[in-house]
Structures are given as C-alpha cells and as structure tokens.
C-alpha cells in the first residue's frame, strides 16, 4: 500500500526527470528453464517518466484503486545464505510502468549486503546494495525489461543502506517499463536467486 502511493507521489513531484528502461528481445523463450542460456538481441526502448524524486506522503485520492494486500504472496524464492525474497504485488499502471514490490528477509546468521545486486551495467555502478540489477522477462512477448533509472543512473528501486541484519526483514520495490497488456505473467529475477513467476495486476 505505502509503496504504490509513494510511487504515484514520486511521479507527480518530479515531472522534469527522465528515466530510461532498456528492453531486450529474448530469442527462443519457450517453456520453463533458465533464461541465462538464451540469446538476446539488444533493442532500445525509451521510457520517459516523472519518476525520481522525494518520497511521497502516501495520501489517498478519492477513487484510487487499492493496491493488493501486502500479505498476498505472488511468489517466493530462497537462495544464497538463507535469503528469502517475497513478491507481494506487480502492478501495471496507465503511465506504462510496472512496479514490483515485496519483502526481503535475511534468515542467515550474518548481515547480508547485496552489493552484487546492482547489476553489471556501468550506468548503475552507484547503486550498490540495491534492487538495480533486477529484471523481468516477458516470455510470451520474448522481451527482457531492465530497471528504470534517471539521467544520473540512479535506479527507481529500493536501496538497502547498511545491508540487512540477521533475521531482519525489509520491504522493497523495483520499477520497469510495462510489458504489453496482453502479457499477464512475467519472470522476476535478481542476483543469484532463481526466477520467480509473478502475475501482473492492473492499476491506474
């Protein structure tokens, strides 16, 4: 709930910011299996957005569509040192964006610092310990969508400053260009975790 309202306020407050999402064509996407072996033809997609800015106050406007209940679980994957990523919502809005959100729990005995989750792109080098390296794959449309970012390379996603302590759980969000309306499911992936198949819901 708070994450969805925060993203609406963020867009309204920063109409001058421009974000760019890369869309990659995924060749040979079939049934299940890992995407890592697929060949990818690079395409380009510009996603002008009013995204980067301050956190909003989370106020409701009359008639707003309510976000899915935060305890709804669309997918859950566990990997590494007992790190569990839960996806609670994946909302496509009329602005052409897909906002994925959920929780990340460190079930291990040591602090977890997801430094490698910033991704391999040079443009995202300043996004250490964040969801910047996340992507969604639309198997039906055979496209891969990378995180949105502003002109300074800051991702439109959660940053885990200081990492996550043992047995601590934090909420997160990551925003992407939205797949075509005909696509109702995508695979969300980040870091070394397995892909999580999630269903998209429609927002405003």
Query: Helix (H, G, I), strand (E, B), or coil: what is residue 61?
Result: coil
Number of compact structural domains in the chain: 1
**Position 73 in a domain:** yes
Q: Where are the beta strands (DSSP E) in the chain?
A: 23-26, 40-42, 75-79, 83-92, 97-106, 135-138, 143-146, 169-177, 185-189, 196-199, 201-202
Longest dimension (CA), the chain: 47
Judged against a pLDDT cut of 60, whether residue 127 lies above it is answered with: yes
**Position 63 in a domain:** no
Give the model's pLDDT for residue 159: 94
- On whether the CB atoms of residues 46 and 65 are closer than 8 A, the answer is no
Which residues does 84 contact at the CB level (< 8 Å), separation at least 6? Answer: 76, 77, 78, 104, 105, 107
**Position 170 in a domain:** yes
**Position 62 in a domain:** no
**d(Cα 19, Cα 47) in Å, to the nearest integer?**
6
With a pLDDT cut of 70, the percent of the chain lying above it is 65
**Position 81 in a domain:** yes
Structure confidence at residue 108 as a pLDDT band (50, 70, 90):
very high
Give the model's pLDDT for residue 57: 43
**Position 152 in a domain:** yes
Tokens (6 digits) for 176: 């992407």
- On whether the CB atoms of residues 173 and 100 are closer than 8 A, the answer is yes
**Position 155 in a domain:** yes
Q: Which structural domain, as residue segments, surrounds residue 19?
A: 2-57+68-202
**Position 172 in a domain:** yes
Over its C-alpha atoms, the chain yields an Rg (Å, rounded) of: 16
The model's pLDDT over 88-103, given as tens digits with 9 standing for 90+, comes to: 999 999 889 999 999 9
């Amino acid at each position: 709930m708070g994450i969805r309202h925060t993203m609406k306020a963020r867009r309204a407050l920063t109409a001058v910011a421009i974000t760019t999402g890369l869309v990659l064509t995924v060749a040979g996407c079939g049934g299940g299996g890992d995407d890592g072996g697929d060949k990818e033809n690079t395409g380009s997609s510009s996603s002008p957005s009013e995204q980067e800015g301050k956190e909003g106050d989370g106020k409701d406007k009359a008639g707003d569509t309510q976000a899915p209940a935060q305890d709804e679980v669309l997918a859950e994957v566990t990997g590494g040192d007992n790190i569990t990523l839960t996806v609670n919502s994946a909302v496509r809005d009329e602005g052409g964006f897909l906002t994925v959100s959920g929780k990340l729990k460190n079930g291990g005995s040591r602090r977890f610092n997801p430094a490698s989750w910033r991704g391999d792109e040079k443009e995202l080098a300043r996004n250490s310990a964040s969801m910047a390296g996340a992507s969604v794959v639309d198997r039906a449309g055979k496209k891969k969508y990378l995180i949105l970012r502003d002109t300074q390379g800051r991702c439109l996603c959660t940053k885990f400053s200081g990492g996550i302590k043992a047995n601590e759980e934090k909420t997160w969000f990551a925003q992407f260009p939205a797949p075509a309306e005909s696509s109702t499911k995508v695979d969300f992936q980040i870091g070394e975790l397995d892909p999580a198949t999630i269903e998209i819901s429609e927002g405003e």
